[in-house]
Structure 1
């Protein structure tokens, strides 16, 4: 006998399905915490970063020709191997915007940022049949796979109206490459991410491959003078991995000088204040600056025996700049740790 399903049960099931769909889409209306746009490159208006990864000392291939189907998923007909600090970003574009409109924005943005176009294509006839397979082919090493949502971007053959742009920028011996791919796609891992244009950006900056602290070590005596006479000490010899709160090994000399100064001034308690540039989301930068300050506090406690009650971490992101954020040099000055008497 067929069971009698009452209207209340049907209504409950519909509400449950709606709740699941809302839960899946939650978080797609704001940037991933800590994510930021590439330096000197903005984003299409009202787009959102849902995938983000920065890795130093990486080698990858950028396409200089179309995607050619092979026995596996395929490969680029022509490509260039580049190495350095690699950033991968996945953007969701507003639903009302078409793929070609986004392409025109990025074409202009590359030019404004000083990139020379090495390769450009529009549609599968130019870019290659099933060109989006480069993203899901593990051998290419480009896809963001932290979650099923990110894996299913450009999934299967659902990507339509694809385009690619590849640019190169050389300045003062430094070299940077940017690969941008966009397509209308249907991400079936989450309806909130499907039936809209997505854009994958991969940037490789050879000049920023070797991460290192950006300034000279301030010794204990000078730290004591600065905190007493000027009310704070700006520390550029403490460095972190790009976009992370992991201290670089070369930061040890400055940490040791801080610990010596604090040991010689046993009555002094301080704020350890983290600062960032203004690239990316303010909330993400606030979190990053706080975590970096906390990392310094933990190093002073665990490695040098400074009592934790004398150290208070704070993060203010880009809210107290000491230079313009319009240039790479200015942004480098704004990324710092400060020591402030409490």
Structure 2
């Protein structure tokens, strides 16, 4: 009986080893990009590298550290029981966000790969805002997106293992969940017309375990790209009744559906729906008189923005009088320039929120 029991154990062990393990040990040297993956066009890849993990969102948020990660408050831990680490300086951005993970050809160091990316950034008239290496980056310098019960890593500032969609032990999963060595990081801004794109590049050498050993020692490049993109503004047009409710409840209403040519006070045709609703508001409340207050971001001098905001408010008043028949005596135009921001002027998204026209009742 004991002999038969041992034979059964050996048979089960053999079955497990021959059938189960090969389905797990599937990391290989890549010879092509994964299906559906593509470079963004903002910055080229390192020659000979292949994309093994890819994710893109038409509009999302991206946080980019601009200083080393520092320990958070005592007792502050993430969902993986890692001590939280944060940078003192960071950019929180919104736009099209793409994450690309590349396996680089063998015998290329993380530093060499990073310097090539910085060359591309310089060629695009970009500016490196932050650079670090190894322990200088803060947190656990030998951890990627995987693990808990220790310090948070630089990669975990961007995403965790639970955020990736690659199959376990695939090239993509191995590239961002194995232990790492010799990490390097750079964050840079790249001009895109009147807007700004951002690139964050982390390179490191993979210290892969059993199921990922095909990639052991290879340099990996994790590239985050933020491309400026206007959010689809579903709520820009505020109806007259909603304006009235906001004025009654909050004492004013900020409107983002009034558009001007860049750096000018010329109203664009896209402003007509919102102007029509302002006229409807005033038509429904014949006793109401309002201030029309123009606001700008902080780009440019104080005097410049004060003058621009006043001229834009005047343009709104003139359009309501000439095109919608509003009595000019019910309208007072004023410019506040950059004096009353509702968001940080340090980001494109914040500046967009600060550019607005506010309707304020005066009676």
Provide the residue aligned with 2:181 in structure 1: 160
> Given the alignment, which residue of 160, 165, 168 partners 1:146?
165
Q: Any conservation in 2 of the 1:115–1:167 contact (CA below 8 Å)?
A: yes
Report deviation, 1:192: 2.4
Equivalent in 198, 204, 215 of residue 220 of structure 2: 198
**Preserved contact between residue 29 and residue 214 of structure 2 (Cα < 8 Å):** no
Q: Is the 8 A contact 1:49 1:92 kept in 2?
A: yes
- In the alignment, which of 83, 89, 110 is matched to residue 94 of structure 2? 83
1:190-239 Cα shifts (integer Å, max 9, x gaps): 22233321111111112x34479xxxxxxxxxxxxxxxxxxxxxxxxxxx
Q: Which has the larger radius of gyration?
A: 2
Question: Alpha carbon RMSD of aligned pairs, Å?
Answer: 3.6
Q: Quick one: distance in 2 between partners of 1:171 and 1:94?
A: 30
The separation in 2 between residues aligned to 1:77 and 1:185, in whole angstroms, is: 28
The verdict on how the C-alpha distance between 1:78 and 1:187 changes in structure 2, with shifts beyond 3 A counting, is farther
Over 3 Å counting, the alpha-carbon distance change for 1:142 and 1:104 in structure 2 is same
Deviation string 1:176-201 (CA, Å, 9 cap, x unpaired) is 11100011122435222333211111
* Separation of aligned partners in 2, 1:139 and 1:14: 33
Give, in angstroms, the shift of residue 41 of structure 1. 1.4
Q: Tell me the residue number matched to 2:55.
A: 53
Using a 3 Å threshold, how does the CA distance of structure 1 residues 146 and 12 change in structure 2: closer, same or farther?
closer
Structure-2 change in CA distance of 1:209 and 1:25 (3 Å): farther
Displacement after TM superposition at 1:44 (Å)? 1.2
Residue 110 of structure 1, CA deviation: 1.4
Q: How much has 1:74 moved relative to structure 2?
A: 2.0
Alignment partner of 1:32 is 2:34: yes
The residue that corresponds to 2:350 in the other structure is: none
Given the alignment of the two structures, is residue 108 of structure 1 paired with residue 119 of structure 2, yes or no?
yes
Aligned ranges 1:254-273 → 2 under 5 Å:
none
Cα pair 2:110 2:183 within 8 Å, conserved: yes
Please give the alpha-carbon distance, in whole angstroms, between the structure 1 residues aligned to 2:16 and 2:156: 42
Deviation at 1:28, TM superposition (A): 2.9
Residues 67 and 131, structure 1, Cα contact 8 Å, conserved in 2: no
d(CA) in 2 for partners of 1:29 and 1:171?
A: 32
Structure-1 separation of matches of 2:219 and 2:117: 13
State the alpha-carbon separation in 1 of the partners of residues 143 and 69 from structure 2: 9
- Call closer, same or farther: CA 1:171–1:179 in 2, change over 3 Å: same
**How does the TM-score come out when normalised to structure 2?**
0.48
Measure, in 2, the Cα distance between the counterparts of 1:113 and 1:52.
23
State the alpha-carbon separation in 2 of the partners of residues 198 and 88 from structure 1: 13
Q: For the structure 1 residues 209 and 159, does the alpha-carbon distance in structure 2 shift closer, same or farther, using more than 3 Å as the test? A: farther
For residues 134 and 119 of structure 2, what CA distance do their matches in structure 1 show? 19
Give the alignment partner of residue 128 of structure 1, picking from 116, 138, 152.
Answer: 138
**Partner residue of 1:118?**
129
Unaligned runs of 5+ in 1: 5-9, 213-342
1:109 Cα offset (Å): 1.5
| Alpha-carbon offset, residue 142 of structure 1 | 2.8
Aligned residues: 206
For structure 2, the 5+ residue unaligned runs are 8-12, 77-82, 147-151, 234-363
Q: Is the 8 A contact 1:51 1:89 kept in 2?
A: yes
Distance 1:27 1:204, change over 3 A: same
TM-score by length of 1: 0.51
Q: Distance in 2 between matches of 1:182 and 1:95?
A: 14
SS in 2 for 1:25: coil
